[in-house]
């Protein structure tokens, strides 16, 4: 196949979406390869999987830099070394600076556990339950300067059932995320969906 897009995944924790992206990329026909993993936390559980899979991984912690700009500059340097085409945020719990978003505009995608534009930010499952929603879901979107706000690439709707609590709902939605994210990266890496 033609040149595969070179992808970096950013994580802060468990990394289950990262795992699904890595697994999808192991298929010869998939248009993206995972070149490196960046975590802002040394204790992120997902780093273990990156190590097992022999994928380059690095911790770039804000604690090691004087400010956000310097942290993001270090991230950009690493991405350039790896010659990255696409960045996938997968449970990366840090907001990127405006400069970084400008520099990589159209190349950063994120997965968010709600049907955006509903429920931006944290605790989406509890908030959807509290609001009496009958459906909820997940979204993959391009990242812009505004949090959880860029153009939508794809969504999966998930029903809310009687008796659901936030944990049950989170598990049901995570299963949908694991299908949505590899599909969305494929669309972007193949050029079928672009940022305008």
Active site residues: 112
User: Which two three-digit tokens encode residue 173?
Assistant: 């939605």
> Residue 28 or residue 141: which is nearer to ligand GRF going by CB?
141
Residue 7 in contact with ligand GRF, rule: CB under 6 A: no
Q: Which of 41, 57, 107, 112: binder of ligand GRF (CB under 6 A)? A: 112
Residue 72: helix, strand or coil by DSSP?
A: helix
**Residues 10-49 close enough to bind ligand GRF by CB under 6 A:** 11, 13-17
Q: How far is the CB of 118 from ligand GRF (least distance, A)?
A: 14
Closest CA relative to residue 180, chosen from 96, 90, 100, 92: 90
* HEC per residue, 91-105: CCCCCCCHHHHHHCC
> Residue 65 or residue 187: which is nearer to ligand GRF going by CB?
187
Total residues binding ligand GRF (CB under 6 A): 14
- Dihedral of alpha carbons 129, 131, 136, 139, sign: negative
Q: Interface with ligand GRF by CB under 6 A: which range of 58-66, 96-104, 111-119, 144-152? A: 111-119
Residue 111 in contact with ligand GRF, rule: CB under 6 A: yes
**Residues 161-180 close enough to bind ligand GRF by CB under 6 A:** 174, 177
**Residues 132-151 close enough to bind ligand GRF by CB under 6 A:** 138
Q: Are 90 and 9 in contact (CB under 8 A)?
A: yes
- Beta strands of the chain (E only): which ranges? 5-11, 32-39, 56-59, 86-89, 108-112, 135-142, 152-159
**Residues 46-105 close enough to bind ligand GRF by CB under 6 A:** 90-91
Q: Are 9 and 38 in contact (CB under 8 A)?
A: yes
Binding region for ligand GRF (CB under 6 A): 11, 13-17, 90-91, 111-113, 138, 174, 177
């Amino acid at each position: 196949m033609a040149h595969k897009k070179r992808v970096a995944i950013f994580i802060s924790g468990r990394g289950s979406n990262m795992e699904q992206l890595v697994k999808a990329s192991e298929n010869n026909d998939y248009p993206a390869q995972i070149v490196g993993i960046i975590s802002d936390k040394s204790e992120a559980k997902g780093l273990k999987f990156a190590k097992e899979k022999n994928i380059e991984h690095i911790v770039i912690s804000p604690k090691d830099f004087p400010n956000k700009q310097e942290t993001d500059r270090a991230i950009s340097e690493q991405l350039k070394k790896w010659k990255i085409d696409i960045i996938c945020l997968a449970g990366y719990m840090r907001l990127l600076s405006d400069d970084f978003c400008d520099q990589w505009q159209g190349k950063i995608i994120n997965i968010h556990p709600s049907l955006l534009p509903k429920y931006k930010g944290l605790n989406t499952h509890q908030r959807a339950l509290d609001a009496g929603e009958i459906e909820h879901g997940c979204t993959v979107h391009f990242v812009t300067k505004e949090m959880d706000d860029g153009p939508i690439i794809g969504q999966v709707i998930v029903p809310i059932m009687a008796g659901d609590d936030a944990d049950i709902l989170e598990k049901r939605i995570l299963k949908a995320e694991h299908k949505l994210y590899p599909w969305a990266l494929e669309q972007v890496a193949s050029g079928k969906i672009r940022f305008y």
